[in-house]
Structure 1
Amino acid sequence: MTELLNVLQALRLKGRVRAADLAATLGADEETLSADLESLTAAGLAVETNGRFKTTAEGRNRLTELLGDERTSLDTDALSTAYEEFDAYNDELKSLMARWQLKDESTPNDHADAEYDAAVIAGLRSLHESFTPLLSRIVATAPRLIHYPRRFESALEKIEAGDTSWFARPIADSYHTVWFELHEELIGLTGRTRAAEAAAGRAL
């Protein structure tokens, strides 16, 4: 069985997700993960509607317990230091996302200007390469996050191959989606809350 914490956390972050998409996110075997989800549903920790799964209140309570146990085994000082470093990269990604959506304060980017889009994508590649060493340190400190480097690289490869929907598409493992989920992980691992981070201007 795929580790319970991994599955419940991925379900929470995704909201409602198909088994195949969850398996791709976690790098797990789809058949095994489907069986895991059936077990979670039978145990009342997840619920399935129209082929998509989400956590139940009981599942979220169990996840809170598991995350609390995980934090006791991690170097939270190292994670807090990494999170402070992450903040600068988060600001840079927010700037890139703004440029991807708007060419200036009032002009939406219709993506008709290939040169403009290419410059933003080049900026994303630069950010990715600069951020990768920090991401490696984060994963070394919190090994459960091992699937994030692969997901970032996969999204960027698709963007650079011409499918720019992987920049910020909300219903897929786009670069923006993966970044948002990593941010959520770091907020939780360092004992922060999204509400407090949003109030401090650090939410994506």
Structure 2
Amino acid sequence: MTDLAVLQAVRLKGRVSRADLAATLAEDPGELVGDLIAAGLLLDGPALRLSPEGRVRLDELLTAERTHVDQDAISAVYNDFRAVNGEFKALVTDWQLRSGQPNAHDDPDYDAAVLARLDVVHQRVTPIVAAAAAQLPRLSRYSTKLQTALDNVHAGETLWLSRPLIDSYHTVWFELHEELILAAGLTRENDDA
């Protein structure tokens, strides 16, 4: 477990309990969290959050990490992701809305067709995550997190598609997208443009 992994997980979550941080990292960062709090990089409370100094340190760590990445390879990964991202965003919109109104989820055929598209998106994004992890090994956890959310959706727990505040497919997708933006040396504003 590294400072970078912990600080980045906290940044992506915004505010996170220690238990949720351990869950998102797939291991308990226990003592390291205490060290980061003592160093003034994390603020403690009901939820952990980055301090201003923690943001500066995280930016330094991410910049240093990018110096060891093949920028052409990570740019290709990011472009591949962007192609699938549009499909995923449309799928989530179709899950949440139907004919411009909130989806009441009272048409099982409609919902099943949307969820079938999730399987296609998942098949397309899996090799993209693997290619990203080849450049940044810490990103490999996104494969497991996406698969876990997909498994929960397949088990009938459809809240795992887009519910906020849990590691739903949408939440994990958003975090992966943020990671790839940073890895490519971009900002959200660059991405939106």
TM-score bin (small chain): over 0.9
**Where do residues 78-117 of structure 1 align in structure 2 (5 Å cutoff)?**
78-104=73-99, 106-117=100-111
1:36 aligns with 2:32: yes
Partner Cα separation in structure 2 for residue 24 and residue 110 of structure 1:
31
Q: What one-letter code is carried by the residue in structure 2 that aligns with 1:40?
A: L
Compute the displacement of 1:34 (Å). 2.6
Counterpart in the other structure of 2:166: 172
Q: Which moved more, 1:81-90 or 1:108-117?
A: 108-117
Residue 43 of structure 2: which of 17, 42, 47 is its match? 47
| Aligned residues between the structures | 193
Q: In the alignment, what sits opposite 2:147?
A: 153
Indicate the residue corresponding to 1:128 in structure 2. Answer: 122
Query: What is the identity, as a one-letter code, of the residue corresponding to 2:9?
Result: A
Letter in 1 for 2:79: E
Alignment match, 1:188: 182
1:20 aligns with 2:14: no
The whole-number CA distance in structure 1 between the counterparts of 2:125 and 2:144 is 14
Q: Hey, what's the Cα distance between the residues in 2 that align with 1:132 and 1:146?
A: 10
Q: What is the identity, as a one-letter code, of the residue corresponding to 1:56?
A: S
- Structure 1 unpaired stretches of 5+: none
Structure 1 residue 35 displacement after superposition: 2.3
Alpha-carbon deviation of 1:39? 1.7
Structure 2 CA distance for aligned equivalents of residues 132 and 182 of structure 1: 12
Q: What secondary structure does 1:162 align onto?
A: coil
Would you identify which runs of 4 or more consecutive aligned residues in structure 1 move more than 6 Å?
none
Counterpart residue type for residue 87 of structure 1:
R
Letter in 2 for 1:85: D
CA-atom RMSD in angstroms: 1.0
1:84, distance to aligned residue in structure 2 (A): 1.0
Q: TM-score, normalized by length of structure 1? A: 0.91
User: Which residue matches 1:61?
Assistant: 56
Please tell me the residue identity of whatever aligns with 1:132.
T
* Alignment check: 8 A CA contact 2:95 2:103 kept: yes
Question: 1:112 deviation in Å?
Answer: 2.0
2:7 paired residue number: 8
Q: Which residue of 2 aligns with 1:143?
A: 137
CA apart distance, 1:130: 2.0
Give the C-alpha shift of residue 41 in structure 1. 1.1
